[in-house]
Structure 1
Amino acid sequence: MVTRVPAVLLRHRIRIEPYLGESAYGPRYADEVEGVPALVSEAVRIVRAADGREVISTAQVIAAPDLDCPAGSRLTLPDGRLTTAINIAHHTAPGLPVPACTEVSCE
């Protein structure tokens, strides 16, 4: 039974700086994590941000289900483009033969 998205499908490598929150000096980020396996799709979609606004996502990232990437995190895509995570969706289907994964919608 498949429990995670197969690593062979995660052909891209991205860099993530997980968002930690706001400080007196602006946003704070954890140390960057390089070489994160992912599958990147650069497509324009409308998604809902954490505050309820509808915003445009220009890239979607599929990664392992245990990905640490809260909304507001900075991502560097395979082409070098720096973007911000808008929305994170954890896809699971316990007991079904489909892979669990995390989907990150990016600006």
Structure 2
Amino acid sequence: MSGIEEFFIHEVTVDTFTGGGAWGDTYEPTSDPIPCYRDDTRQLVRDADGTEVVSSATVYAALAAAPVFTVGSLVHLPGRDAQVIGCNARDGDALGLPSHVEVTLT
């Protein structure tokens, strides 16, 4: 194992948000475990609408996992579930840096 993956010492599973309707929100079935690094630091971030909200955790995972973490998705953490506030793909290939996805959670 090389690159950023060696820091992925945690795992999460995700119910990917697919939309809402008259019967409530809909989700894809729970994903397989996704290796990641979880940082439980609280911080002030902006959501998709630009509103300031408090993030209670940030998850860093492989760039290939980005499509699973749509805004509104449910991420299953040890002891609690959290909702995705934002997901930022960090593609560092052109600079020779490790690529990853940074996911802010409620």
Residue 66 of structure 1, CA deviation: 1.5
- Larger relative contact order (Cα-Cα within 8 Å, sequence gap ≥ 6): 1
In 1: Cα distance, 2:6 partner to 2:17 partner:
28
CA deviations over 1:51-83 (Å, ceiling 9, x no partner) = 110100000000010212100000011x22111
Paired letter, 2:94: G
Residue 98 of structure 1, CA deviation: 0.9
Identity in percent:
27
What count of residue pairs does the alignment treat as equivalent?
Answer: 103
Structure with higher helix content: 2
Paired letter, 2:74: R
Q: Which moves more between the two structures, 52-61 or 5-14?
A: 5-14
Unaligned runs of 5+ in 2: none
Runs of 4+ residues deviating >4 angstroms: none
Residue 18 of structure 1, CA deviation: 0.5
Structure 1 partner of 2:81: 82
Q: TM-score, normalised by structure 1?
A: 0.89
Which of 49, 52, 65 is the matching residue for 2:50? 52
Which of 20, 28, 46 is the matching residue for 1:30? 28
In 2: Cα distance, 1:102 partner to 1:44 partner:
18
Unaligned runs of 5+ in 1: none
CA deviations over 1:17-68 (Å, ceiling 9, x no partner) = 0000102111100010131101000001111101110100000000010212
Q: CA RMSD in A?
A: 1.4
Q: TM-score, normalised by structure 2?
A: 0.90
Residue 94 of structure 1, CA deviation: 3.4
Paired letter, 1:57: S
Structure 1 partner of 2:13: 15
Paired letter, 2:92: A
In 2: Cα distance, 1:15 partner to 1:81 partner:
12
